[in-house]
Structure 1
Amino acid sequence: MKKIAMYAVVAVLFAGAGAWYGTHKKPAPAPITATAPAGVSGPVAAMMAETLPNDKGIKEALSKWQGKNLLVNFWAPWCAPCVEEMPELSELQNSELGKKIQVIGIGIDSPSNIAEFTQKVKVAYPIYVAGMSGTELSRQFGNTQGGLPFTVLIGADGTVKKTYLARLKFDDLKADLAALN
């Protein structure tokens, strides 16, 4: 009889905790619904449909880059090769070639870590915060292992021209950029 009473007390405690949690739980945020701009499909459409906060926390629609040649760099502050190539990506953005390509960085980390990083390391291109969902987005571009850095060259027509896993070889990249329209 003692065991039954103990089980009853435990059951009442769990029921009470569940009832309290159910009445105090914050509602789930409404899902973000976005549609890709016309004229693009596949992973480029998925990326263009995203609205991500920049390193200052301001949300921006990535569709603003539609119609431009893009070099999309998936990176993280804790990834040494990612950090090593950032000055070269900034140099590229500021160069003559930078007039025909827009570099954007998609950070795979927390907003606070990325904000802290970009306060210390200045970059000449926009940085967006995707968190772990950035890994899934990079997988859609063919990064099946989720390795970083991962960079995607996208033509102004919305097609993926080339992907690069690991630290960029800038001589090869410049040759690929020269072939863009």
Structure 2
Amino acid sequence: MNRHLPALLIAVMLAAGALGFGLYHWLNPGSDPLPAEASGGTLAETMPEFSMPDPDGEERHSSEWDGDILVVNFWGTWCAPCREEVPLLIEMQENYGDQGLTVLGIALDQVEPVQRFADDFGINYPLLVGEQETLAVMESFGSGTVGMPHTFVVDRDGRIVNFHVGLIEEHEVEALLAPALRNEAGSDS
């Protein structure tokens, strides 16, 4: 049996889910991101602790980003909407990074294509990569969705404050980040 077959099957299932989600949004323009209850799972209230390798093979731990506003984006190089979304994530990192926001890309993929893609696109945010590891982290977030990409927003206190399935559009960025930024403004007193 081909050792890449399980990863290929997962990729095909996720791509089919992403295609279905994209078709839904194409047929229903202006629809809001899915609420937490619609994720297909029970979302965690706080960001789970996890460790995964980066593309260089260095083990990274979620606690490295404690105190940051996190945009945790699950994606893959094989996923067309994921690839389309990357320039916006790069821009989010550029525009909000000095405010303590970190985009964290977690790829359901293999190291080589992720590294090539990151180099080609000039990704300016940390990446983690794995296959079964990524699926386990997705599950620990409570994501029961098969759509890719999907994104969680985590505030500085580690609370998951927003969830979005599918391609993030530029006009959705402020609404996506608003709960974390609102918590930020409320804690400045």
TM-score by length of 2: 0.65
Residue 64 (1) aligns with residue 64 (2): yes
Query: Map of 1:151-170 to 2, 5 A cutoff?
Result: 151-170=151-170
Provide the rounded CA distance (Å) in 2 between the counterparts of 1:57 and 1:171: 35
Structure 1 regions of 5+ residues with no counterpart? 1-41
The question of whether the paired residues in 2 share the 8 Å contact of 1:54 and 1:127 is answered with yes
Look up the match of 2:139: 139
Is the contact between residue 54 and residue 128 of structure 2 (CA under 8 Å) also seen in structure 1? yes
Q: Are the aligned partners of 2:47 and 2:159 in contact in 1 as well (CA < 8 Å)?
A: no
Q: Which runs of 5+ in 2 are unaligned?
A: 1-43, 185-189
Structure 1 residue 122 displacement after superposition = 1.5
* Cα pair distance change 1:150/1:71, threshold 3 Å: same
Query: After alignment, is 151-160 or 114-123 more displaced?
Result: 114-123
Tell whether 2:79 aligns with 1:79: yes
Considering Cα pairs closer than 8 Å and 6+ residues apart, tell me whether 1 or 2 has the greater RCO: 2
1:129 partner amino acid: V
Look up the match of 2:109: 109
Q: Note if contact 2:70-2:154 (Cα within 8 Å) is conserved in structure 1.
A: yes
* 2:68 partner letter: K
Q: Tell me what 1:171 maps to.
A: 171
Distance 1:108 1:45, change over 3 A: same
Could you list the structure 1 runs, at least 4 aligned residues long, displaced by more than 6 angstroms after superposition: none
What is the aligned residue count? 137
Query: C-alpha separation between the residues in 2 aligned to 1:152 and 1:131?
Result: 19
CA–CA distance in structure 1, aligned partners of residues 73 and 151 of structure 2: 4
- TM-score normalised to the size of structure 1? 0.68
Q: Percent identity?
A: 30
1:98 corresponds in structure 2 to 97
